[in-house]
Chains A and B, each alone.
Chain A
Amino acid sequence: MRRLFSRRNVVAAGLVFFAVLPFVANPYVIFIGNLALMYILLSVGLNMLLGYAGQLAFAHAALFGVGAYTTGLLKLELDLHYGLALVAGVGLATVTGLAVAMPALRLRGLYLALATVAFAQATLWVFTHWNSVTYGGAGFRVPPLDFEPFTPRPDIGVYALTYVIVLASVPLGWNLLRSRVGRAWVAIRESEVAAESLGIDITRYKAIAYVVSAMYAGTAGGLFAGMLGIVTPESFDLFQVIVHFCMVIVGGLGSIWGGVIGAVGLVGLQEVLRAFRHLQEIAFGGLILFTVLVIPGGAVSLLKRYLPGWKEPLRRTEHDE
């Protein structure tokens, strides 16, 4: 039983599940599966900045939005190839992430939080009010995507693309974390003074964390625009910030697998509560509180405690194990 739920088996089962899903499920379920895959990117990316590097920054949802708007608008206005539009979306989100990082590098804790919340709100304001470009509060429709000759169905095309990107970028993140970059991030999180005294350039490594997490957010944004077919500002508001934080915290801060588990689990929860948006907000807030108070290591810490083979580099464990 314990062997059955080893990490290798669970990951393999997850991969098979998401690979088979588009062949057997109806379009609605495929969309939800696609959403879950996309949130894995958001959650893993945010976890690098928040969980590993320890930077309490709230700009992630806005960068997600920058990726979605850029990709969607390039497709709409210039009829750019979706792949190119996606790359451009990732690029602009990354540049924006770096632009946020520049002032943010000087800030810590509460001040960093306030500055990045302000950035998120300002971005939302631009999405809503820059009518001539963003089409304002009502947003715009993204022209249907074309995945010929691979598949006649655009939804399955985006799904497959998301699947492949997740399959590539989660291992890339894992590699990064088990290198000196991951160790530098955790060192910065635990003690900036000690990190510096070991020769870690904390400004540089914080900037790297912002850039990498922005790349994940921008990629997710571009995919989101493609899968939903409509881009509106309300997809990137403060509730989105809460969703991202909830995934990372409930799944497990400072754990790649925690990010994956949080994303898949919370997309499921969000679907259950789809009809009650206000209940969603309460449920997500409550879940964050519950996790912080009862299982501070997140869901993944339970797996680590009870099941073998869930160890990972730079693991964050509780001492009561």
Chain B
Amino acid sequence: MSESIPPGGNPPAAAAAAAAEPDGERERPVSKLRASGISISFGGLKALDSVSIDVDPGEIRGIIGPNGAGKTTLLNVICGIDPPDHGAVWLDEQPINGLKTSQIADRGIGRTFQTTKLFKGMTVLENVMTGLHGKMRASPLAAAFSMRSVLREEAEAARRAREVLEFVRMLEFADDEATSLSFGQQRLVEIARALVSEPQVLLLDEPAVGLSLTRVAEVDELLRRIRRERGVTILMIEHVIRLVMGVCDRITVLNSGRKIADGTAEEVMADREVAEAYLGAELDA
């Protein structure tokens, strides 16, 4: 089972990166997560066109943009689901493109999805424990014989899963069927599942979509706690402007596969191109 994409087999990653560098951002000492010159097409449609993004350690970064801007595609490129045609991704300045999605997850990038993907047939606790898969060592043979080391590892996994469920305030639902929960609760469980392996970076795809205002406030508070208490860097797509403006340190704006702005909430709001993208070009006054 060799890797499907040999390292560097993606059109020379280093070269693409070098080419993308000049148009890169200002100098930064160390970035947590960096994607550079990402381009990807699906059947002739250019989903991303030379997009670069640079996230600092401990930052909460928002990605906004109209539908079809390429936001989810960018997350898929970062976590290895969609290999880019050009460009490269670094985690802690280590290149990660070309790795399998599961290997990227093991390096410390957690992910939630736009449409919640909790596993049906599992309890909330089992779902969260699945998030620890890469941290566990039990071989199938040892597992079949329920070796003592396996049981100990299972108990530890359950303990950690309960701890993170407590963190997102869902512990009381631990033994419920995951897909029987309300939509908002499922989102929290999905965040817990991504958090339990203690990732360095969390990619969230619209964590607040479809939530009530009180729930949005809870998510806002949760994201701050994730950063403060767990030291996780967050990159999230979000349409709920109240959440984005409130919690994000910086915001990246995509439109039709291109990055059109990158800055603080105030800077982005003041940007003419952003206003045009959202409200239409006729706005010039």
CB proximity of B200 to chain A, nearest CB, Å: 13
A196 and B100 contact, CB distance less than 8 A: yes
Q: Provided the pairs A193-B81, A196-B102, A197-B105 are in contact, do residues A176 and B130 lie with their beta carbons within 8 angstroms?
A: no
Q: Judging by beta carbons under 8 Å apart, are B113 and A190 in contact?
A: no
Q: A176-B144, A190-B119 are in contact. Are A197 and B79 (CB under 8 A)?
A: yes
Cβ–Cβ contact A196 & B101, under 8 A? yes
Given the interface pairs A173-B144, A194-B113, the reply to whether A179 lies near B138 with Cβ below 8 Å is yes
On chain B, the residues within 8 Å of A173 by CB distance are 144
Interface string of A177-220 (1 = CB under 8 A from B): 01111011011011101111111111110011000100000000
Contact A203 B1 (CB under 8 A): yes
Expressed in whole angstroms, the minimum distance between the Cβ of B199 and any Cβ of chain A is: 10
Nearest Cβ on chain A to B96's Cβ, whole angstroms: 13
Q: Which of A201-251 contact B (CB under 8 A)?
A: 201-204, 207-208, 212
B197 on the A face (CB < 8 A): yes
Whether A190 contacts B117 in the complex (CB less than 8 A), given A175-B146, A196-B105, A203-B1, comes out as yes
Nearest chain B residue, comparing its CB with the CB of A316: B121
On chain B, which size bracket covers the interface?
Answer: 35 or more
Is B46 interfacial (CB-CB < 8 Å)? no
Contact yes or no, A193 B117, CB < 8 A:
yes
When A and B form their complex, which 3 residue pairs have the shortest distance between CB atoms, in order from nearest? A199-B134, A179-B143, A199-B105
Taking A181-B140, A197-B111, A316-B121 as known contacts, 11 extra A-B pairs with beta carbons closer than 8 A to each other, sorted by chain A number, are A180-B129, A183-B126, A183-B130, A186-B122, A187-B133, A191-B119, A197-B102, A198-B193, A199-B106, A200-B130, A319-B177
List 28 interface pairs A-B (beta carbons < 8 Å), by A numbering.
Answer: A172-B144, A172-B145, A175-B144, A175-B145, A176-B143, A176-B144, A178-B154, A179-B150, A180-B132, A180-B133, A180-B136, A180-B138, A181-B140, A183-B122, A184-B130, A184-B133, A194-B119, A196-B81, A196-B102, A197-B194, A198-B130, A199-B105, A200-B133, A201-B1, A208-B140, A314-B126, A316-B120, A319-B179
